[in-house]
Every structure is written in structure tokens, then in C-alpha cells.
Amino acid sequence: MSTTSDREALVVGASRGLGLVLVDELARRGWRVIATTRRGGGELQATADAWNGRVEVESLEMTSPEQLTALRERLKGRRFDLLFVNAAIDRGNLPVHEVSTDMFTEVMITNALSPLRALEALRGLVAPAGTVAVMSSEQGSISLNTEDGYELYKASKAALNQLMRSYATRHADDGRTKLLIDPGHNRTRLGGPDAPLTPQESIPAVVDVLEAQAGAPGLQFLDRHGVTVPW
């Protein structure tokens, strides 16, 4: 088990919003962080510069298997206590019969398929007792889907949760903690300007959960308070 001062995290999808604040919060708590972005520069690079080497930036288009393989090769020899995959898009509030096939495919690839590809490609970099986590949403809960709206986004997060369940079953004996995290409804580009939370409010609580659950067996679907979200 790593000590507080030498814990390392790999955060996939950190250019803005929840991922960016997650990187900053981990660094603030003493973690060393490698954070990925599709494009260089921007807020993530400014964050890395501010942390004087504690945060490193890597380029990654998560939907590209070739780029995932290349990242794994670049990081060969590193061992991470946490691999956190954060990625989601939304293409508007349409009923599913109005969703084009191309839109459906784009959202499902980004929100469900690609995060699991990332876990599979990068899991070998995670320490034997480390944590693999994915940013999910209460909107992926089938039992809580009792209000109209955002059918494609909800379906993509439900698919993500199901694929993560399959991942956890397939790797049940690897000794790693596995988490799906619901950070709440945040004011981000995805969550919109009227959301009740800011990432600066929700992410410290998310990191509390990540740190508290380190070493816990099996897969859990938890909110930012560490409370189980129903499937």
C-alpha cells in the first residue's frame, strides 16, 4: 500500500469540468497525478503548471483503441493506486424514436464502450490492491428512472453500469476495488447552468469516497456521500 505522499493516480478525461477538478483535488491531497486530454494546453495544462510536476499531462483520444495502447506503452513501468475514467457526452433531450442512428452510436461509444475499453487497456498499470473507478450517474439507475427526459443519456449510463458489472465479474479475483461513482448534478458543460452543485462542491466528497473505499472488495455503485445507488 502506498503512503499518503507517494500515491499515484491516472485520470482519463480531465480537460475540464469534473475531471479537471478531480485532478486538482487529488494533487491538493498529495497524490501524484497523470491526467489525459484530447488536446494540449488549456485549463489542464495550467493546473499542471501550478502543481510544479505533481500533475503530468498526457494526450489521449479515449475512443481510439490505438491511442489507448500507445498510452499504456508510454506509461509502462508506472504503477497507479487509482485509475479513474471520466467521460460523457449528451446530445440533447430527445425521445429515443427521434434519435438518429449516428447520434445513438456516438453517445454509446463515448459513454459506455470507450470507458470500458480504457479500463481493459490500462488495468495492467494499476497496483494489485489499487482502485479502478468510472464516473457514472444516478441517471443510469433503472429503478430510479421515474421522470421523463434525456432517454439516450440515461440509456448510455445504464449500459456503462452493466458493462462495468461484466468487467467486475470477469476480473473478480484481481484484488482491486471497483467503483461506479455518481457525483450528483453539477454545473458543467454537460450538467447545464441550472444544476444545483458545482464541481468544487461535489468532487472533494467524491475523493473522500475514493479514499475511504480503497481496498474494499467487489463492485459498488456509490454517490458522492458513499451511499449505494440502486441499480
- Looking up residue 90, the CATH number of its domain turns out to be 3.40.50.720
Domain that holds residue 176: 4-223
Look at 62-71, 96-105, 184-193 and tell me which has the smallest mean pLDDT.
Answer: 184-193
In a domain, 228, yes or no: no
Question: Which among 32, 74, 77 is positioned nearest to 53, based on CA atoms?
Answer: 32
Q: How far apart are CA 103 and CA 96, in angstroms?
A: 10
| 137 within a domain of the structure (yes/no) | yes
- pLDDT at residue number 88: 87
Q: What's residue 186's pLDDT?
A: 64
pLDDT, mean of residues 177-191: 82
Q: Inform me whether the pLDDT recorded for 2 exceeds 60.
A: no
Give the model's confidence band at 187: pLDDT under 50 very low, under 70 low, under 90 confident, else very high: low
**Domain total for the chain?**
1
pTM: 0.94
Exposed/middle/buried for residue 186 (C-beta within 10 Å: 0-12, 13-18, 19+): buried
Average pLDDT of span 88-113: 94
Higher pLDDT, 34 or 1: 34
Q: How far apart are CA 189 and CA 90, in angstroms?
A: 10
Domain membership of residue 25 (yes or no) is yes
231 belongs to a structural domain? no
Q: Is the pLDDT of residue 73 over 60?
A: yes
Rg of the chain over all Cα atoms, to the nearest angstrom: 17
The stretch 7-27 carries a mean pLDDT of 96
Res. 1 pLDDT band, cuts 50 70 90: very low
